[in-house]
Amino acid sequence: MTRHLLTGAELDRDELGALLDRADALKAEPLSSRALEGRSIALIFEMHSTRTRLSFEAGIFELGGQPVVLRRDELQLSRGESVADTARVLSRHMAAIGVRTGPDEMLDELAEFASVPVFNMLTARHHPCQALADLMTLREEFGRLAGLKLAYVGDGNNVARSLALLGAIAGVEVAIASPAEYTLTDAHGATLTTQPAEAVAGAHAVYADVWVSMGDEDSAVERRELLAPYRLDDALLDRAAPGAIALHCLPAHPGEEVTAAMLYGPRQRIWEQAENRRHAQKALLELLVRSEGRHADNV
């Protein structure tokens, strides 16, 4: 059966640990693997991207492969071709298919009809590749994951959901502070609160995300008002554990969800997070494509 990475729940703790071990090795020697030599990877972007596109394109190249970037208006999807037929065609040419889109249903349908691995580069509900890089960054900083506490403050969005889901697999305690109007609906074992100070108490890392994401522009004024108490600044980080670090998945809006002093200061590991997207995703691609190769050998 073809293996996909749609939410991150497809990994167990041992696999996740091994993936992060591999990511560390690939970071130390970025050109040491040729796992994708002679193979092409489709990257479908229905939403704008900086980090996701850069990290996947560079990472696929470093693994010896060819990234094929596709936008919806460049595909027959824009003229009514079905997602299922698109999956069938891509599977004849590509070794794997990545998707950055809005509705999860599009990703799920691609995975249903593709005969090669499909991986989630971002959907409305999940952002597992970001969470993999976040866990890698935490482990770099603290030398472990089990027993750490991660606090997320802000909108209970796809990033918060993926941190809760993958954090639970890794043994990380996750606490999420959001206004009642934007509380995460499925906690995956995370502690939910409306009080930022409560969430960050004892936390080893405090995480922020933009207040107005793509698609939220119509409610921008309301969102900024409700989320104003959830700003990540020195005062909030001071409530966390000694030596706690600030994290942010970017892009950031200094003065809104995070202060400039925090974003560019010594207490953050935000730019390491951004780099670690590439290394964690390379380890993921190795896992998916090699799993597919073993499956093909057994057919």
Q: Which residues contact 221 (CB under 8 A, 6 or more apart)?
A: none
Q: What is the largest CA-CA distance in the chain?
A: 58
Query: Residues 249, 269, 279, 281: which is the catalytic one?
Result: 249
Mean pLDDT over 59-73 rounds to 95
Residue 249 a catalytic site member: yes
pLDDT at position 77: 82
* Three-state DSSP class for residue 166: helix
Query: Residues 22, 126, 130, 223: which is the catalytic one?
Result: 130
Q: Which residues contact 29 (CB under 8 A, 6 or more apart)?
A: none
pLDDT at position 251: 96
Query: Residues 209, 223, 269, 273: which is the catalytic one?
Result: 209
CB 46 within 8 A of CB 71: yes
CB 189 within 8 A of CB 174: yes
Query: Residues 51, 125, 127, 279: which is the catalytic one?
Result: 127
Residue 8 backbone class (left: φ over 0; alpha: ψ -120 to 50; beta: rest): left
Identify the CATH class of 13-127+277-297: alpha beta
Domain borders along the chain are 13-127+277-297, 128-274
Look at residue 269 and tell me whether its pLDDT is greater than 50: yes
Query: Residues 22, 100, 139, 269: which is the catalytic one?
Result: 100
Look at residue 78 and tell me whether its pLDDT is greater than 70: yes
Same fold yes or no, 13-127+277-297 and 128-274: yes
Query: Residues 161, 277, 278, 279: which is the catalytic one?
Result: 277
* pLDDT tens, residue by residue, 14-64: 999 999 999 999 999 999 999 999 999 999 999 889 999 999 999 999 999
Residue 129 a catalytic site member: no
User: 128-274 falls under which CATH superfamily?
Assistant: Aspartate/ornithine carbamoyltransferase (3.40.50.1370)
- The CA angle 199-280-164, to the nearest 5 degrees, is 25
pLDDT at position 214: 66
Residue 277 a catalytic site member: yes
* pLDDT tens, residue by residue, 173-225: 999 999 999 999 899 999 999 999 999 999 999 999 999 876 677 788 999 99
Look at residue 298 and tell me whether its pLDDT is greater than 60: no
CB atoms < 10 A from the CB of 205, how many? Answer: 26
Residue 281 a catalytic site member: no
Residue 34 a catalytic site member: no
Question: Cα–Cα distance between 151 and 174 in angstroms, integer?
Answer: 6
Name the helix (H) or strand (E) containing 80. Answer: none
Share of the chain above pLDDT 70, in %: 97
Question: Cα–Cα distance between 50 and 251 in angstroms, integer?
Answer: 9
pTM: 0.95
Residue 100 a catalytic site member: yes
Cis amide bond preceding 251, omega within 30: yes
